Homo-oligomer: A and B are copies of this chain.
Amino acid sequence: MQFDLVIRGGKIATASDVFEADVGIKDGIITALARDLQNAADVIDATGKLVLPGGIESHCHIAQESATGAMTSDDYYSGSVSAAFGGNSTIIPFAAQHRGQSVRDVMRIYDDRAAPNSVLDYSYHLIISDPTDKVIKEELPEAFAAGITSFKVFMTYDKLIVSDEQMLDILVTAREYGALTMVHAENNAMIKWMVGRLVDKGHTQARYHAVSHPEAAEVEAINRGISLASFVDAPLLIVHVSTDAGARRVAEARLNGQKIFGETCPQYLFLEASDLDRPDPEGTKFCCSPPLRNTETQKALWRHLQAGTFHLYSSDHAPYRFDETGKLSSGPNPPFNKVANGMPGIEMRAPLLFSEGVLKGRISLSTFVALTSTNAARLFGIHPKKGTIAIGSDADIAIWDPDETRVVTAQGMHDNMDYTPFEGWQVTGWPVTVLSRGKYVVHDGELKAKAGQGQFLKRAPFDTTGYTTELAGELNPASNFGAQIL
């Protein structure tokens, strides 16, 4: 056997197994796992290192206008570079439809933004804010045929929100084609109502952002989203779950035979509402939605991570700079409701979980791989091409030094941001080399890839195992949908 590249002597981890072997790569594909592979054009010595599937960052906002119109600071170049330095080899940002906009146009626009720039392979989730008849009947099927097999909807934000009835239309269309629907679940009314009252009283500091987005708003919307999805027996992914009660609804729905999945994010595991108490405008750095919560909730989310409630752990990277282009666009000391929601994190996502989760014994290395890579590949239709180290898979590999300790600084990040919410954290375990289809993207702390090197990924339908047409609804007593009727 001849190899273009052999990674030698490392410890390989998949979502299931940890073992020592060399990895042989040929034409961008993993073609051999064995001890002592020879005949390599190039060799990486991974002795003492971990050889992991490259991370798949499936929840990030790149080159996207925010709900308030501002553009993220990261484009597909800086965003994918930062992702790569964080151990990722694939990104799946969003392609967002504005009201009145054709989905065809949306896809073209985002192709133009991504193709020339991304250093990593990529796809999009399609955000649907205007599910007209044409969108539902023509454009979503077209997008699906083009390999966009996940749609996202919002239950909040006036410019993005879809009604429950629209959500049913989207869910049932997704079900028909085999797409997975994702949802930002917060009750819009509770939030708007609270924001109005708070602002009326002059309570505009960052700390009131958390007050205005109560846990109850998330829990209600999660419950409603699950009700709608289960009613039509469609799968649903609740993104960025930030509450214990919300996470429990997700877990319990699965016990009831419903195909409900959950995701949480580093900010909910590592930060707290008290971070919003820093004197404004500093506190605005920590404004995101759902907002940061308290210590008890944080502990509960760790328990859910261990218990398997969440299939995904994503950054929700939403890079708005701490200047007039981003967080401070409405002034140097903006009221919380004029602050772009979100924080950067694409580069810190995996290292934080490794340091705090794996090294502190909270989760296993295989669970780490599942949460940062394999599960996303499965849920979003790119497994086993991506998300694992196996024969025939793309050689998308992150080599980690489990012993390296760094102190996090904004300067150390490779995104276009001027702050990181994790400034000063001491983190052990960092990716040192990242390969994409066998090619170096990051190596020895240097960027090795060129803009546009990433490829668009045509994704497969949502895996319907345990969910075939024949069985649909059989095990979901909540479904009154009745294929026999409709």
The answer to whether A189 touches B163, judged by C-beta atoms less than 8 angstroms apart, is yes
The answer to whether A169 touches B198, judged by C-beta atoms less than 8 angstroms apart, is no
Within A436-486, which residues are at the interface with B (CB < 8 Å)?
A: 463-468, 470-471, 474-475, 478, 480, 482, 485-486
The answer to whether B227 touches A219, judged by C-beta atoms less than 8 angstroms apart, is yes
CA distance A303 to B12 in the complex (A): 33
- What's the nearest-Cβ distance from chain B to residue A272, in Å? 16
The answer to whether A215 touches B480, judged by C-beta atoms less than 8 angstroms apart, is yes
Q: Which of A163, A193, A362 has the most CB of B within 10 A?
A: A193
Closest to A388 in B: B17
Residue count of chain A within 8 Å CB distance of chain B? 92
Q: Does A223 contact B (CB under 8 A)?
A: yes
Closest to A164 in B: B189
- What's the nearest-Cβ distance from chain B to residue A252, in Å? 8
- What's the nearest-Cβ distance from chain B to residue A253, in Å? 9
The answer to whether B464 touches A361, judged by C-beta atoms less than 8 angstroms apart, is yes
Q: How many copies does the complex hold?
A: 4
Within A209-238, which residues are at the interface with B (CB < 8 Å)?
A: 211, 214-217, 219-220, 223-224, 227-228, 230-231
* CB-contact partner of A20 in B21, B299, B309, B391, under 8 A: B391
CA distance A362 to B485 in the complex (A): 23
CA distance A220 to B227 in the complex (A): 6
Q: Does A405 contact B (CB under 8 A)?
A: no
Within A241-269, which residues are at the interface with B (CB < 8 Å)?
A: 247-248, 251, 254-257
CA distance A21 to B364 in the complex (A): 27
Within A350-394, which residues are at the interface with B (CB < 8 Å)?
A: 360-364, 366-367, 370, 374, 383-384, 388, 390-393
Given known contacts A33-B34, A211-B485, A257-B303, is B384 in contact with A18 (CB within 8 Å)?
yes
Chain B residues with Cβ under 8 A from A16's Cβ?
14-17, 366, 370, 374, 388
Q: Does A35 contact B (CB under 8 A)?
A: yes
Q: Does A123 contact B (CB under 8 A)?
A: no
* CB-contact partner of A361 in B217, B362, B471, under 8 A: B471
The answer to whether A227 touches B231, judged by C-beta atoms less than 8 angstroms apart, is no
Chain B residues with Cβ under 8 A from A197's Cβ?
486
The answer to whether A471 touches B362, judged by C-beta atoms less than 8 angstroms apart, is yes
Closest to A189 in B: B164
Q: Does A304 contact B (CB under 8 A)?
A: yes
CA distance A471 to B214 in the complex (A): 21
Q: Does A426 contact B (CB under 8 A)?
A: no
- What's the nearest-Cβ distance from chain B to residue A174, in Å? 15
The answer to whether A193 touches B169, judged by C-beta atoms less than 8 angstroms apart, is yes
Chain B residues with Cβ under 8 A from A164's Cβ?
187-190
CA distance A485 to B210 in the complex (A): 13
* CB-contact partner of A34 in B34, B227, B302, B474, under 8 A: B34
Of the A-B pairs whose beta carbons lie under 8 Å apart in the complex, a sample of 23, sorted by A's number, is A1-B36, A14-B14, A15-B15, A16-B16, A16-B17, A16-B388, A17-B393, A21-B390, A21-B391, A32-B32, A33-B390, A165-B193, A168-B189, A168-B193, A190-B228, A198-B485, A214-B480, A223-B223, A254-B306, A360-B468, A361-B470, A364-B463, A367-B466
Known interface pairs A19-B393, A190-B227, A360-B471; 17 further A-B residue pairs with C-beta atoms within 8 A, sorted by A's residue number: A16-B388, A17-B390, A32-B33, A169-B193, A198-B485, A211-B485, A216-B231, A219-B227, A224-B224, A248-B255, A251-B255, A255-B307, A361-B465, A361-B467, A362-B475, A363-B466, A367-B466
